[in-house]
């Protein structure tokens, strides 16, 4: 047997692994009276739950997953951006919600400038996200942008 063959046999083969998905959740304390176990029926409820985003110095994008009765199943901070933008592909927005079998979604993000008016890219992103969500047989109920002591709702404005 050649020397190189002997060396090759002596080298241990590297183990092969599969990636196993494991989902962990942590609890977030909310103020008393928060609509956690109630159906989300208007944008003001979501604004009150995530109003603290107005103090952030970078844009944060959050996906709230809802059951068929519009009760919150879970939420996730999907992306953290810069002072004037945040980016996420539609699949990244909803991917961790899928095991919960959601019926619908509400998207929330903040504008550190304080002005919640949607930008052109906010409108384009919402349109793409709505199409992706509908393809899955779910609904995009709203996209809410939080500013200083105010917010903008795509649904309230008739854009969804």
Residue 33: its pLDDT value, please?
67
Return the domain boundaries, the chain. Answer: 44-69+76-116+128-139+147-160
Name 77's bridge partners: 62
* pLDDT values of the chain reduced to their tens digit, one per residue, 160 residues: 556 666 555 566 778 888 777 667 677 776 666 667 889 999 999 999 999 999 999 999 999 999 999 999 989 999 999 998 999 999 999 988 888 899 999 999 999 999 999 999 999 999 999 999 999 999 999 999 999 999 999 999 999 9
Rounded to whole angstroms, how far apart are CA atoms 8 and 143?
Answer: 58
CB of 110 closer than 8 Å to CB of 80: no
CB of 135 closer than 8 Å to CB of 105: no
For the whole model, what pTM was predicted?
Answer: 0.82
Rounded to whole angstroms, how far apart are CA atoms 142 and 160?
Answer: 7
Residue 14: its pLDDT value, please?
79
Name the residue with tokens 């599969």: 18
Residue 11: its pLDDT value, please?
62
Q: Which residues of 76-108 are buried (b: 16+ CB within 10 A; e: fewer)?
A: bebbebeeeebebebeebbebbeeeebbbbbbb
Rounded to whole angstroms, how far apart are CA atoms 144 and 160?
Answer: 11
Fold of 44-69+76-116+128-139+147-160: Cytidine Deaminase; domain 2 (3.40.140)
């Amino acid at each position: 047997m050649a020397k190189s063959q002997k060396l090759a046999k002596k080298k241990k083969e590297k183990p092969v692994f599969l990636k196993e998905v494991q989902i962990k959740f942590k609890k977030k304390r909310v103020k008393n009276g928060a609509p956690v176990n109630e159906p989300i029926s208007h944008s003001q409820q979501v604004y009150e739950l995530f109003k603290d985003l107005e103090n952030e110095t970078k844009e944060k994008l959050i996906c709230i997953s809802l059951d068929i009765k519009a009760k919150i199943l879970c939420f996730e901070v999907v992306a953290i951006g810069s002072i004037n933008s945040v980016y996420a592909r539609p699949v990244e927005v909803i991917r961790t919600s899928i095991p919960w079998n959601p019926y619908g979604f509400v998207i929330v993000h903040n504008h550190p400038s304080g002005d919640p008016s949607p930008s052109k890219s906010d409108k384009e992103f919402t349109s793409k996200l709505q199409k992706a969500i509908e393809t899955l047989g779910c609904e995009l109920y709203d996209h809410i942008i939080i500013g200083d002591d105010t917010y903008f709702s795509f649904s309230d404005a008739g854009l969804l």
